[in-house]
Structure 1
């Protein structure tokens, strides 16, 4: 037997990435519909475009109406319409990275299965293999070929989070999995529906993996119904306008997205932008961190995206496969730079070259554990959001669209039996109520939700209590949970629950990045990151007595308790007993710009509304109604920060070009025959044109707890984490803030290409 080539991107060891000649291995008997109308009426184009958009939305409604799952009820899915050769024509406004595997999975099916078992009208394929098409095993892909005029016209696909597909921990997020064999079952693509008929033998095999097969059977049918609905609608559309006209519109949508993205890239100067993020605990209680790095090099109208500098994969649940990493990139591009294209982002990938190093944490090889690490997709999306925002800051056309990263995702899972002896085991998805990041022109939205999932939602408390044997004690906006800045990141929330009519209940915790130790949303261009979240259990409270008096606590610490348990970022089951209170804090978004540049009237309003505390107003914003000099003293204290010791730079001659703003506080300008980076407020030289603007800045390292309401990371991790702050030595404006392991070199963030 021939062993798989470890260097091949085949889906065996490395992830599947179709080779340039993949179509040569598609069976000739599978005819592709490539006929395109020579003339496309603009009105017909817009009607078809809008119809494809509404098909995707109705596709989502179909899933939620049929599934009984609280997960799919929160819109934890996405869908897409694709061409005959799997170019994405239109994505949907749900979780952006979730269906990123559709083009890969479909091309894998066409390349490997077009001869046997074949691709026929009425078929629907299923796959949850993370090395082929799934972000993790619970996000199952369904893909339906669409035939018109006897030829393969296109595909309808969705990926949704199914309730439970096995593995060593109920719900599908085993944090103690060392490799994939402890994860939920992995299923490469297979034909579940053949010429319109469900394969009952394969359905039985599929459901046998689940602890809750009846629920999963509903999930299965909901997703099948979704792709079947979309397929029928597109066939009807072809009947109305003609298949060649619809195909011409689809081609134009992809081309239009590509051209829009290409033009926007041309408005950004060439250079490389980098973001370093850490992720905690490859295994529960390991108390270590690992490093990821995302670098985006822009040259002309193309991007080269690399994960060089990311740590090698290790046993544990900190890894994501290539499909998730690439999807985190296109997902952010879709909402940040192509929102006017109605999520028709497929064309943007024509302008991207991925340089992914396999065997690293953001491109893991088989057989890594991946299901429990899915939340690190949010970490990578936040990294891309930070990088893209810094790039857009260098474009006059695009800087109005800048948004700071949102919070990392907190995901507690409840497991146990209700008072009827019925098993339950699934997540509370209130992480979708995180604060959104600050923008270049305004504050983020409190509990506004993640940037990467415009339509995601949280369940009403009544629905939570319907699904789980719990009482919701409070659900409230959380002061000081957004990042401080000229524009403030939106605050997150706190949710408190207690068991109600439960025979037993355990809490499993899952967290992305450093969301429970060091930070949530990264700050931008001088703004502070938002503080870490938490999971906490207050055991042995007098809740019953309080409730008998018709009162409820507003936080877990409003009531006495016999014991307080702080749960780590990853844990695999802590009992929750009657009268205990479980609280988890959902993080806020990152801040934008120097907090000392915030309008004092806005700070006063925030205090009045309870969005920030008086301590945060005084210590971070320099706002004290009884001390008019508080802000100026804070600014002057930055003069004591140390100057970086930097190496010699490459001198770039003056270009004669106009000044170019590349940052809220940094401008590229000519000075004394040299092109330099200078402070936009006072003109202080910070670096040569191709240098790092941090080279000329003042810097200090302070404790993470300097961030308002931030916990001490040392509770959970041994690596010392510090908050680094950088300021212009001339006017003392804060130009950057980041979190790093103590002793590591300064992160460059950006370096423009010398011309």
Structure 2
């Protein structure tokens, strides 16, 4: 399918975002199509005092937290226990007032769903008190079909006062593969079923005919029914608590607090943007395997243009969608941006992302991998959303580093989730299935002032948790042999990424188990998280099936192996990022290695004592300490200062021999000379400063003061570059085993002092990427 490009239309604004072929985006005049019978409650107390505002702001926040608690208490699913959901309170007209501290992109679909309901369904079947609606359509409000979105109107005195909503992962709603992540689906018709928005609860009464229709699609109808009831109960609870709050404080006072929350978030976000120089940021990532066995890569690009207090975000440079589960819809495109903003630049505003959204123009091209049109297969590619989320986190890190007050909030990306889904039947023949939550046991990205947290979980799920081993083993017929932190799984840097986890699982009293793998981006072929400002990427995740082990012999001796190295095996299977139905037999072991976050800054800037301590604690191997950090330690992890100084000097000497960017990629196009401004020198990067050089405004190395480029040029054009094999990173195997295209690790350093300034993973044939170009001469 060919993407609809802006130049093929009179205007980008002519695109019809109707939720049919393209995703649904409410038109500016959408409210003119709302039924007159649906009356908005817009009463506002103009005299809201600050104390009452703070009380109500925290009350609304706790309603979301208690909403989450309702889901986890009522559901029988380990997925819900891991907080694989999010919830929101919305204004009467569908603006996202406040989301919870859970999966940050998930509930971005709620405003889309709510406005769709009001625009399309308010006449028939109508929207009344006690109603609850359900949708799993990715072209309206669901991340993918398994992230079922529930929304309920909240009425006060007969008028529509607000909405409450949740979106949560349900395990199985049909499709050609158990679990809902079919990797071999060519299009939507092999995916789990889509539910267009419909009214499931009518005036407080659950419609049994529609619930039966819903349950009928699942291989595990009882679990799905329980999860569904939990979601409905959560919305009903939140609606009731919001109504009680209106009774206690008065609806106009609560509405005034809601308005102020959004206005505060908008103004805070706008003020932060105004402090950052105008610029355009770009980043490129790749998705592997449009279908299992595909050996090509698929390009995705994000561009952020910052102008004054606004952002324009597009996906120009992204490939057209193709067959197979390899892309996502508009809801996710907007969701990853708003989720990153909620965590990085608006965390003090209690996730009031609706305020930030007022300052953003989303302009993705439909029909592309990051804004798929119907009927693309999108359920099995949902992990590519997390890959894109992490890349956006690094883009905002570069943006925030331009301001001294924001650089302290910089967080480097975490890794992708190497999702592992198992399904089968237990010893009694009963079917089961689940996504292994161990896949989210990875390390966090480094910060601008400290290391990432070890095995912290997904950074885009602030309150993520992993169920106890005993809970998983109670539900499913397998044993978790061990979980442990894995060395060299975090990205190296001045501040290193936190390490991830190694876990080994084997069947126990199961009749049959099959494995579906679903890794995002290039998470098992080239790298996981990407670093910033010279920080290195974390290595690849790994799926391995150890076939025909002697694990049962160990059990017979009342031993549980603590490392797979203790097991013999007939063979070891390395699974691809996308695979369906690999059997896990009684004597087999699944080994899953989950990685950590990206690094921050040049690894040679890390204090040698910290590296020696990392080696002593098992976070970094001796080999990586030498190769990446230039630190020499002995067998007992004691630091050898003299050898370290010599090793680091040798690494810098090697960097000095790298080629200029012009030699490798050809001369770049230079911008017109930027005139000097008289403004003081300031950092716009960990190692790049903007300053005057005579009559010019330039970008210079902050370490040695060497001029790199004009202020409005791509600063990489003034650097040295090395294109290395990905196997330079520890734990990374040759990507050519999985890919036909050559991928390289590009490292760029200052020609003067050899400080590593930026690192990227790219196709060998691609030109140098302009990751950040300033567009306004020296002023803010």
Flag whether TM exceeds 0.5 (same fold).
yes
| Aligned residue runs from structure 1 range 234-249, under 5 A | 234-249=242-257
Contact in 2 for aligned 1:681/1:731 (Cα 8 Å)? yes
Q: Which residue of 2 aligns with 1:349?
A: 357
| Aligned residue runs from structure 1 range 433-582, under 5 A | 433-582=441-590
Contact in 1 for aligned 2:502/2:594 (Cα 8 Å)? yes
- Pairs aligned (count): 751
CA distance in 2, matches of 1:297, 1:229: 41
Using the TM superposition, give the Cα deviation of residue 720 of structure 1 relative to its aligned residue in structure 2, in angstroms.
1.1
Of residues 410, 417, 426, the one that matches 1:402 is: 410
Task: Name the SS of the counterpart of 2:106 in structure 1.
Answer: coil
CA distance in 1, matches of 2:752, 2:17: 51
Using the TM superposition, give the Cα deviation of residue 551 of structure 1 relative to its aligned residue in structure 2, in angstroms.
3.3
Bigger drift between 480-489 and 709-718 goes to 709-718
Bigger drift between 646-655 and 52-61 goes to 646-655
CA distance in 2, matches of 1:270, 1:190: 44
CA distance in 2, matches of 1:555, 1:293: 40
Of residues 646, 649, 653, the one that matches 1:632 is: 649
Using the TM superposition, give the Cα deviation of residue 648 of structure 1 relative to its aligned residue in structure 2, in angstroms.
4.5
Using the TM superposition, give the Cα deviation of residue 232 of structure 1 relative to its aligned residue in structure 2, in angstroms.
0.2
Q: Which residue of 2 aligns with 1:51?
A: 59
Contact in 2 for aligned 1:163/1:219 (Cα 8 Å)? no
Contact in 2 for aligned 1:404/1:438 (Cα 8 Å)? yes
Of residues 733, 745, 748, the one that matches 2:770 is: 748
Contact in 2 for aligned 1:531/1:711 (Cα 8 Å)? no
CA distance in 2, matches of 1:172, 1:224: 21
Using the TM superposition, give the Cα deviation of residue 167 of structure 1 relative to its aligned residue in structure 2, in angstroms.
0.5
* Residue 688, structure 1, aligned to residue 705, structure 2: no
CA distance in 1, matches of 2:669, 2:146: 51
Contact in 2 for aligned 1:267/1:397 (Cα 8 Å)? no
Task: Name the SS of the counterpart of 2:284 in structure 1.
Answer: strand
Q: Which residue of 2 aligns with 1:678?
A: 700
Task: Name the SS of the counterpart of 2:133 in structure 1.
Answer: strand
Gaps of at least 5 residues in structure 1 are none
Of residues 19, 22, 32, the one that matches 1:24 is: 32
Q: Which residue of 2 aligns with 1:290?
A: 298
Of residues 211, 224, 236, the one that matches 1:216 is: 224
Bigger drift between 548-557 and 710-719 goes to 548-557
* Residue 701, structure 1, aligned to residue 734, structure 2: no
CA distance in 2, matches of 1:293, 1:379: 12
Contact in 1 for aligned 2:481/2:503 (Cα 8 Å)? yes
CA distance in 2, matches of 1:342, 1:644: 43
Task: Name the SS of the counterpart of 1:61 in structure 2.
Answer: helix
Contact in 2 for aligned 1:170/1:426 (Cα 8 Å)? no
Q: Which residue of 1 aligns with 2:600?
A: 592
Of residues 658, 672, 675, the one that matches 1:641 is: 658
CA distance in 1, matches of 2:674, 2:542: 48
CA distance in 2, matches of 1:710, 1:669: 40
Contact in 2 for aligned 1:489/1:591 (Cα 8 Å)? yes
Contact in 1 for aligned 2:439/2:592 (Cα 8 Å)? no
Q: Which residue of 2 aligns with 1:431?
A: 439
| Aligned residue runs from structure 1 range 195-234, under 5 A | 195-234=203-242
Of residues 135, 141, 148, the one that matches 1:140 is: 148
Of residues 34, 40, 52, the one that matches 2:48 is: 40
| Aligned residue runs from structure 1 range 238-277, under 5 A | 238-277=246-285
Q: Which residue of 2 aligns with 1:602?
A: 610
Of residues 671, 677, 684, the one that matches 1:655 is: 677
Contact in 1 for aligned 2:22/2:372 (Cα 8 Å)? yes
Contact in 2 for aligned 1:600/1:623 (Cα 8 Å)? yes
CA distance in 2, matches of 1:273, 1:606: 34
Of residues 89, 95, 100, the one that matches 2:103 is: 95
Of residues 117, 121, 127, the one that matches 1:119 is: 127
Q: Deviations over 1:234-279 (max 9, x none)?
A: 0000000100000000000000000110011011110001110011
Contact in 1 for aligned 2:87/2:107 (Cα 8 Å)? yes
Contact in 2 for aligned 1:556/1:582 (Cα 8 Å)? no
Using the TM superposition, give the Cα deviation of residue 109 of structure 1 relative to its aligned residue in structure 2, in angstroms.
0.3
Give the structure-2-normalised TM-score.
Answer: 0.95
Using the TM superposition, give the Cα deviation of residue 467 of structure 1 relative to its aligned residue in structure 2, in angstroms.
1.7
Q: Which residue of 2 aligns with 1:299?
A: 307
State the Cα RMSD in Å: 1.1
Q: Deviations over 1:251-308 (max 9, x none)?
A: 0000000011001101111000111001100000111110100110000000000111
Instruction: Label 1:648 to 1:121 Cα distance change in 2 as closer, same or farther (>3 A).
Output: closer
CA distance in 2, matches of 1:716, 1:69: 34
* Residue 667, structure 1, aligned to residue 675, structure 2: no
Gaps of at least 5 residues in structure 2 are 1-8, 634-639
